[in-house]
Structure 1
Amino acid sequence: MKKKYRKLPRNTDYSAYRHPRWWPTWLGIGVMWLVAQLPIRFQWWLGKVVGLLVWKLAKSRRHITEVNIRLCFPELNEQQQAALVRNAFIANGIGLMELGIAWFRDPAKLTGMTRIHGIEHFEKALEAGKGVLLLGGHYSTLDLGGSLVTEYIEADVMQRDHNNPLMNAVMTRARGRRYGTVLGARDLRGLFRSLKKNRAVWYATDQDYGRKDIVFAPFFGIPAGTITATSRIAERSGCKVVPFSHFRRDDKPGYDIYFHPALENFPSGDDLDDATRINAVIEQEIRKAPDQYLWMHRRFKTRPDREDPGFYGRKRKE
């Protein structure tokens, strides 16, 4: 089915999706909308149930998560690692529920339960007049955290298209209501235009994108393929790179958003050094709430040597 989707044009006009082939997707979107209207405590409970079901049934994703946790947290014993794997599925299940809030409700209603830390760092970076690259990560609060951020700052976003064009249309339109501009993952011209206007752009580098234009920098002590584009963007535009993150609070419904000081002397002229600094910053944020990261992704898929055995037990496609 994914191959069929990829042959279709990306179109955000809902009238293009009236054919019966889209009805199952529309049904799923309708369910998301209905769930998004429920009280947030109930959504968290429902997300926990969904997360546990996926943990039980999605053996492939559970295996990837187990491998990542074992590699990144060797200091934990087997029981602690297993608990972290389980909790990661719960956190991402809740994140799935929050996706509906981000897409179909007004996040402004959640500002009363949101705490902002270090926004002065962002404001100082913006004063330089060259734009700000918001260095984010794939936390379980991905969409909701991004939506909440726009309640406090103006920002654009770079996104990777959803394989399902209708879901991509809903996602793009929803994000378009929150962000100033929704840029495609490869729209570097659009990115530089935003930075030239002294805009902030949400940008994430913490996934494995293959072997092209990368260096192998440590991430939790493991050499991880890390793109060098961040250095190129900062070098060409003169923008400031400001790390930021967002997490769900455990004690009661609520969220914390963190802005950190812009990276100094960045880029340094050494791609490996820059990538190491970026990975260290993201690792530091993940350790605040280790279960709230997208561990289901094969972060260490690309290995330094093509002949190195893969961590996940399957042949790698590079």
Structure 2
Amino acid sequence: MRSLFVALSHLPLPVLHGLGWWLGWSSFLLSPRYRRRLFAHAQQAGFSRRVALSSVGESGKLVAELPRLWLGRPVRVGWEGAACIEAAQAHGAGVLFLTPHLGCFEITAQAYAQRFGAAQPVTVLYRPARQAWLSELMTTARNRPGLHTAPTTLAGVKQLIKALKTGQAVGLLPDQVPPQGQGVWAPFFGRDAYTMTLSARLAQTAGAQLVLIWGERLSWGRGYLVHVRAFDAAHEAPLATDPALAARQINAAMERLVRECPRQYLWSYDRYKTPKGAEAAPPGP
């Protein structure tokens, strides 16, 4: 598998995205569970089946582009809103980047490291792969100048806190379902979802500045466009200190980003699952 991964990394991005489109639709057609979840989540958020179907090929591209992004030549990346990062850095504290499962979240960290990493390195939180070969490849490929990784463990969390306290940047996906005891139930597109409290805790570390970011996958393999948003610009109030209120605010911010390009959101992600050992979501009104 590693040899295949290396071989794919040499292919042009349009070819990989074409393969990914085929992969996404194959998964959709072969898995009734996949189809049910994708349609249900898109409908819950108020989007049509047409939007849900347009996300099928994009989810496949998300997988197929990884060999090139991890091991291949650099890809073309543009920026929209980079001044928000410069403004956050001007405070002299660490910067916390929040990204939903939208577009290519792999490219956001790479693009940041290439442009800003020399002055302020970024550490990204990731969930190690179960396969040994993939876990090793993931770790080595993601660690590069200006970019470090931290696993979803207690040691990894300590690494993130240390990075922020020393004025560095940290990135994570706050719509990733955490283990039992590490989250609260908070609305996400009108339905309670188990939401991590880690992102809010990190945002309150050493005056860290909160920034929203996501990477748009351009059509026909033309590269990516990184969108940056100031968190304060998306909310009427600063992030709350109460974990439950902060989780609601962060979920609302993620919703706003998803609405910018719903066809590139990973609707098939099991966002509303109940972690093992956690109490079920409270009944709705």
Matched, 1:133 2:96: yes
**Corresponding residue for 2:262?**
290
Once the two structures are superposed, the pairs formed by residues 255-274 of structure 1 within 5 Å of their partners are: 255-263=224-232, 266-274=238-246
Unaligned runs of 5+ in 2: none
Matched, 1:152 2:124: no
Tell me: CA distance 1:145–1:33, structure 2 relative to 1, closer, same or farther (3 Å): farther
Please give the secondary structure, in 2, of the residue aligned with 1:161. Answer: coil
User: How much does 1:178 deviate?
Assistant: 5.2
Once the two structures are superposed, residues 38-97 of structure 1 have per-residue CA deviations (whole angstroms, 9 ceiling, x without a partner) of: 222222211111111111112222222122112112xx5xxx41x333322210111112
- In 2, the alpha carbon distance for the partners of 1:48 and 1:307 equals 34
User: How much does 1:121 deviate?
Assistant: 1.1
User: How much does 1:163 deviate?
Assistant: 0.8
Please give the secondary structure, in 2, of the residue aligned with 1:177. Answer: coil
Alpha carbons 1:52, 1:86 under 8 Å: kept? no
- In 2, the alpha carbon distance for the partners of 1:236 and 1:204 equals 17
Q: Which amino acid aligns with 1:290?
A: P
- In 2, the alpha carbon distance for the partners of 1:196 and 1:222 equals 34
Once the two structures are superposed, the pairs formed by residues 125-274 of structure 1 within 5 Å of their partners are: 125-154=88-117, 155-177=122-144, 179-186=146-153, 187-250=156-219, 253-263=222-232, 266-274=238-246
Q: Which amino acid aligns with 1:198?
A: G
Please give the secondary structure, in 2, of the residue aligned with 1:130. Answer: coil
- In 1, the alpha carbon distance for the partners of 2:281 and 2:141 equals 43
- In 2, the alpha carbon distance for the partners of 1:115 and 1:140 equals 14
Once the two structures are superposed, residues 220-270 of structure 1 have per-residue CA deviations (whole angstroms, 9 ceiling, x without a partner) of: 121222122222222233211111111112376231111111448644223
**Corresponding residue for 1:46?**
19
- In 1, the alpha carbon distance for the partners of 2:57 and 2:159 equals 36
User: How much does 1:292 deviate?
Assistant: 1.2
- TM, length-normalised to structure 1: 0.78
Once the two structures are superposed, residues 252-310 of structure 1 have per-residue CA deviations (whole angstroms, 9 ceiling, x without a partner) of: 6231111111448644223232212211111111112212122222111239973879x
Identity %: 25
User: How much does 1:135 deviate?
Assistant: 0.8
- In 1, the alpha carbon distance for the partners of 2:266 and 2:30 equals 17
User: How much does 1:150 deviate?
Assistant: 2.2
- In 2, the alpha carbon distance for the partners of 1:148 and 1:269 equals 31
Alpha carbons 1:131, 1:200 under 8 Å: kept? yes
Which shifted more, 250-259 or 39-48? Answer: 250-259
Unaligned runs of 5+ in 1: 1-27, 310-318
- In 1, the alpha carbon distance for the partners of 2:157 and 2:98 equals 16
Tell me: CA distance 1:127–1:145, structure 2 relative to 1, closer, same or farther (3 Å): closer
- In 2, the alpha carbon distance for the partners of 1:60 and 1:308 equals 24
- TM, length-normalised to structure 2: 0.86
Tell me: CA distance 1:38–1:307, structure 2 relative to 1, closer, same or farther (3 Å): closer
Alpha carbons 2:164, 2:205 under 8 Å: kept? no
Matched, 1:36 2:9: yes
Task: Give the length in aligned residue pairs.
Answer: 273
Please give the secondary structure, in 2, of the residue aligned with 1:294. Answer: coil
Please give the secondary structure, in 1, of the residue aligned with 2:176. Answer: coil
- In 2, the alpha carbon distance for the partners of 1:132 and 1:181 equals 14
**Corresponding residue for 1:306?**
280
Alpha carbons 1:228, 1:271 under 8 Å: kept? yes
Q: Which amino acid aligns with 1:259?
A: V
- In 1, the alpha carbon distance for the partners of 2:196 and 2:15 equals 39
- In 2, the alpha carbon distance for the partners of 1:252 and 1:268 equals 40
- In 1, the alpha carbon distance for the partners of 2:163 and 2:52 equals 38
Please give the secondary structure, in 2, of the residue aligned with 1:173. Answer: helix
Alpha carbons 2:217, 2:223 under 8 Å: kept? yes
